[in-house]
Amino acid sequence: MKKLLFPLFLISMSAIPGIASAQKTGNSTGWTADNGNGTFTNPLQWGDWPDPDVIRVDDWFYMISTSMHYVPGCPIIRSKDLVNWEMAGYAVARYDEDPRYDMKGGTLYLNGSWAATIRHHNGLFYVGFCTPYGWGTEKGHFSICTAKDVKGPWTRTIFPEFLYDPGLFFDDDGRVYVVHGQGTLYLTELAADALSVKEKAVKIWQGGIKRPQGSSAPNDSYGMEGSHVYKINGYYYITNPAGGTEGWQVCLRSKSITGPYESKIIYQDESSYPNNGLHQGGLVQLKNGDWWFIIMQDRGPIGRVPHLLPVKWVDGWPILGDNGKGFVTGKKPDVGKTFAVKAPATTDEFNTTPLGLQWQWNHNPDNSKWSLTERKGYMRLHASYATNWKEARNTLTQRVQGPSSTGIVEMDIAGLKDGDIAGLGIFEEPYAFIGIRKEAAGAQLVMVNDGKVIDSIAAIAQKNIWFRAAATDKGFIASFSYSLDGKRFIPFGNQLKMGLGLPWTANRFALFNFNTITGNEGGYADFNWFHFTGGRQ
C-alpha cells in the first residue's frame, strides 16, 4: 500500500487496495528508521527536525530541535534506543515578548527558537536557544528554559544578551558556559544557576575552515556556528557545522575551555543525498560506553532531517560514520534491549485533550478561537480576520514527510459564515490549499496556489467534505484533491512547486479557517480527523 499511495494520487482512493482501511484507522505514522532486524536506515526522521541536540538521562535519550515561528516551540522527542522516537513535549508554550507573535502589528516569521541546546544537570532539564530579530541580523535575545520533567511545566528566562547558536555546558568544577557565535566563536560564562550572564564574552576561535576535498561547497573557506560543548578525558570538545547545505562537521578540542583550540573535520560526505552534506548535531554516550552522533542533512522543502552515526575515537578525535564518510544502514546502538518500532505521532482523531504533540500553530494561537471540547471528537477552528493565509491566526500544522506523505481531513462546513475560507493546505512560501469559501450565494470549493485562485466549483450544498494533500520529494511537488463521499477523490486545481521562501522552515500540512471581510464575525469549521500516511517506498 505504501508503494502505491503517492504515485497513484491521480486516481480515486477507492481504487487503491487497502486505502479505505488505512483512512479509517489512521494507523500509519510515516517514516521509521528501524528495519526490524537489528539494523536501522537513515534518516532517523524523514521530516523537518533541524539543528538537533541530544542527551541521555538514565535510560532515556532526548533530542531537541529548532522550530522558529511555530508554537509551542523547541520540540523534544525521546527514545530508548536512539532509533525509535516519540514526542515528549515542548520547552516553550508561547512567545509573549512581542505582539507580532500574536500577528498584531505584523508577523515574526523566522523568529522564535533557533538552534536549541539541551542539557540535564542536578535534576533539572535545561534548554537554551537564541531568538534573532529577523534573518541575517546580529541582534536578539538568548533564553534558558528549565523543568524537572521534560514534559513540563517549563520556566523561561529571557536574557538581554544575544548569544547566537548557543551550546550550553556545565563544567565539572561547577562553572557554567555557553559557546556561541557565527564565524567567530565566543565563550560566555553564566551564573551557577545558568539564568544570567556572569562574565563578558571571550573570543575563543576566529577564522574559516578550508573546504575539504570532494565537497561541492562553492567557497574555499567557511566559518562555523551551531556549537555543542563536551568534556571528555580531559579535553574540551566543541562540535560545529561548516559549509551550509553542502557542508561538513568540524570538531575543535583543547585542554582549556578558553583555548587555544585545534580543529579537525570529523565527517564529510554527500552520498546519501547528493550535494547535501551532513552538518550540525550532537554527541551522546550509551551506558556501555559507546558514542553516537545525531546530525542533520538539508533535504530542501521537505526539511532538515536527522541522521544517526556511530562514533569511533581515533587519536582523541570523534570520527563519525564509516571513517568520516557515508553511513546509511547499520547495526542499531547496543542499549541492551530491543524496543518496539515507533515514530512521533501524526494521525489525530481529535478525540482527546490536550491537543496532540504532533501539532504546532503558526505563531501564537488565539486560544479563544479553537476548541476540542465545543464539539466532542472534533477540532473546531473559529475564523479571525486576515487578508491572506500568511496573516491568518490559528493555522494548525504538522510536518510534511519524505519521500512522500499524504494528509486527509474530513471537514464539516455547516458552521462557516460569509467570508470564511477553511480547508487543508501545504504551508510555506509559496503555499497552496484546497478548501471552502463561504459567500452570500453559498459555499464554493476553491484551490489556491501562491495566493491565486486556480479553480473553483460553486454551490457546494452538502455538510461534509473531504480534502487530501499529497507531497513528494521527487521534484518537491504537492497535489490536491477532494471527495464528496469520503471514498472517491477527485484531483483539483494544479500542483504546488514546494519552495523555501521562508528560509530554513520546511513545508507543512495545515488546517485553517480565516475570514476575509473586515469587521465580520466569522464562523467555524469542524475537523473530524486528520489522517496521515507515508513512509518507505
**How far is residue 344's CA from residue 228's CA, in Å, rounded to a whole number?**
25
Length of the chain: 537
Share the mean pLDDT of the chain. Answer: 92
Neighbours of 391 (CB within 10 A): 16
Q: Would the pLDDT of 157 be above 70? A: yes
Joined grid coordinates for residue 169: 555546558
**How far is residue 180's CA from residue 165's CA, in Å, rounded to a whole number?**
5
Average pLDDT over residues 310-321: 98
- Tell me, yes or no, whether 185 and 243 share the same domain: yes
pLDDT category at 45 given cuts 50, 70, 90 is: very high
Of 266, 511, 222, give the one whose Cα is nearest residue 382: 511
Position 283 in a domain: yes
Of 431, 417, 347, give the one whose Cα is nearest residue 382: 417
- Tell me, yes or no, whether 85 and 166 share the same domain: yes
pLDDT, tens digit (0-9, with 9 covering 90-100), for 193-241: 999 999 999 999 999 999 888 888 888 889 999 999 999 999 999 999 9
**How far is residue 97's CA from residue 526's CA, in Å, rounded to a whole number?**
31
- Tell me, yes or no, whether 306 and 412 share the same domain: no
- Tell me, yes or no, whether 388 and 437 share the same domain: yes
Beta carbons of 211 and 222 less than 8 angstroms apart: yes
- Helices and strands in the chain, H and E counts: 2, 41
Q: Is 51 a catalytic residue?
A: yes
Q: Would the pLDDT of 418 be above 60? A: yes
- Tell me, yes or no, whether 434 and 491 share the same domain: yes
pLDDT, tens digit (0-9, with 9 covering 90-100), for 260-303: 999 999 999 988 899 999 999 999 999 999 999 999 999 999 99
Average pLDDT over residues 60-64: 98
pLDDT, tens digit (0-9, with 9 covering 90-100), for 90-111: 999 999 999 999 999 999 999 9
- Tell me, yes or no, whether 153 and 279 share the same domain: yes
Collapsing DSSP to helix, strand or coil, 275 comes out as coil
- Tell me, yes or no, whether 310 and 385 share the same domain: no
Domain of residue 475, residue span: 360-534
Nearest-5° Cα angle at 173, 169 to 179: 25
Q: Residue 224 gets which letter from DSSP?
A: B
C-alpha neighbours within 13 Å on the C-beta side of residue 55: 23
Structural domain ending residue among the three candidates 277, 309, 327:
327
**How far is residue 423's CA from residue 392's CA, in Å, rounded to a whole number?**
13
Position 18 in a domain: no
Which residue in this structure is represented by grid cell 546519501? 272
Beta carbons of 217 and 227 less than 8 angstroms apart: no
Q: Would the pLDDT of 23 be above 50? A: no
pLDDT category at 133 given cuts 50, 70, 90 is: confident
Instruction: Determine the residue type at 181.
Output: G
pLDDT for res 420: 98
Name which residue leads in pLDDT, 21 or 426. 426
C-alpha neighbours within 13 Å on the C-beta side of residue 430: 14
Beta carbons of 368 and 517 less than 8 angstroms apart: no
**Considering Cα of 512, then 355, then 340, then 58, what sign does the dihedral take?**
positive
Beta carbons of 205 and 259 less than 8 angstroms apart: yes
Percent of the chain with pLDDT over 70: 94
Percent of the chain with pLDDT over 90: 87
Position 137 in a domain: yes
pLDDT for res 26: 32
Beta-bridge partner residues of 126:
119, 146
Position 1 in a domain: no
Q: Would the pLDDT of 125 be above 90? A: yes
pLDDT for res 5: 26
- Tell me, yes or no, whether 310 and 378 share the same domain: no
pLDDT category at 28 given cuts 50, 70, 90 is: low
Position 529 in a domain: yes
Task: Please give the distance of CA 162 from its chain centroid, rounded to a whole number.
Answer: 23
Position 409 in a domain: yes
Nearest-5° Cα angle at 436, 432 to 442: 145
Sequence-separated (6 or more) residues with CB below 8 Å from residue 486: 23, 410, 464, 466
Q: What's the structural domain count of the chain?
A: 2
- Tell me, yes or no, whether 184 and 267 share the same domain: yes
Q: Would the pLDDT of 537 be above 90? A: no
CATH at residue 380: 2.60.120.200
The active-site residue, picked from 34, 51, 165, 410, is 51
- Tell me, yes or no, whether 318 and 417 share the same domain: no
pLDDT for res 536: 80
Q: Would the pLDDT of 510 be above 90? A: yes
Average pLDDT over residues 296-314: 97
- Tell me, yes or no, whether 503 and 412 share the same domain: yes
CATH at residue 252: 2.115.10.20
Of 336, 332, 292, 328, give the one whose Cα is nearest residue 313: 292
Of 511, 301, 404, 468, give the one whose Cα is nearest residue 2: 404
pLDDT for res 326: 87
pLDDT for res 214: 83
**How far is residue 355's CA from residue 535's CA, in Å, rounded to a whole number?**
24
Average pLDDT over residues 354-372: 98
Q: Would the pLDDT of 13 be above 90? A: no
pLDDT for res 134: 60
Structural domain ending residue among the three candidates 304, 327, 350:
327
Position 269 in a domain: yes
Position 44 in a domain: no
pLDDT, tens digit (0-9, with 9 covering 90-100), for 164-204: 999 999 999 999 999 999 999 999 999 999 999 999 999 99
Q: Is 455 a catalytic residue?
A: no
Q: What Cα–Cα distance (Å) separates residue 299 from each residue in 49, 271, 321, 405?
A: 11, 13, 19, 15
The active-site residue, picked from 34, 53, 165, 225, is 225
Average pLDDT over residues 120-138: 85
pLDDT for res 21: 29
- Tell me, yes or no, whether 364 and 410 share the same domain: yes
